[in-house]
Amino acid sequence: MRKLILEETKNTPEIILDPNKGYFSFKGKSFPENSKKFYETIMEWFNQFEPQVTVSYKIDFELHYISSASIISIFEILKKLSKLQKAGAKINIYWMYESDDEDIRKIGEDFTKLVDIPIELKAVEVQ
């Protein structure tokens, strides 16, 4: 499985999907107008992804702004990760928010109630 790296743009986050290192990350702001189209590439990548049983995968979400359409797309990704976990993959999800950022914390809390996979909320220092 090939590594996928998308560079950060004005309205999309940096995305790194590195299956060999067992590390995935979403970092930055996410408000593309056509969120479904932007995240299609990511969904397709995960659809083809076959987790190794010997690897523990770490996923960091470190998003500073997420539009309502992007929230739906990330929800889809989390549902996909939940399915992979049910099929036996070891996946640890970390949802990072700046300690004074209620919005991002609340979005993370919503996801913990909506998807059947543990999501660890982590407050980080304000930069």
Partner 1 sequence: MNNTTNQVKSLYTIMSDFYHSELNKLHKGSTVLFSKHGKLKQVEVDDLALDMEALMKKAEVKKKYVKAFFSIIIEALQNIRIHGEGAEEKDLKPCYYIVAKTDNSYYLTTANFIKEQDIDKLSQKVNYVNNLSPEGLKEYYFNTLSEGSMSAKGGAGLGIITLATKSNKKLEYSITELENTDFCVFRVTTTVNLTEE
Closest CB to partner 1 among 60 and 76?
76
DSSP reduced 3-state for 27: strand
The residue behind tokens 């209620």 is 102
Residues that bind partner 1 (CB under 8 A): 10-11, 31, 33-37, 65, 67-69, 71-73, 75, 100-103, 110, 113-114
Least distance CB 43 / partner 1 (angstroms): 12
Shortest spacing between CB 30 and partner 1, in angstroms: 10
Question: What span, in angstroms and rounded, lies between the C-alpha atoms of 63 and 108?
Answer: 10
Residue (49 or 65) nearer to partner 1, CB: 65
Looking at beta carbons only, is 5 or 72 nearer to partner 1? Answer: 72
**Could you tell me the two tokens for 39?**
């995240």
Return the number of the residue (33 or 50) whose C-beta is nearest partner 1: 33
Q: Cβ 60 to partner 1, closest distance in Å?
A: 20
- Contact residues for 32 (Cβ-Cβ < 8 A; gap 6+): 11, 12, 38, 67, 69, 70
> Minimal distance in Å, beta carbon 88 to partner 1?
26
Residue 17 tokens read as 């999907």
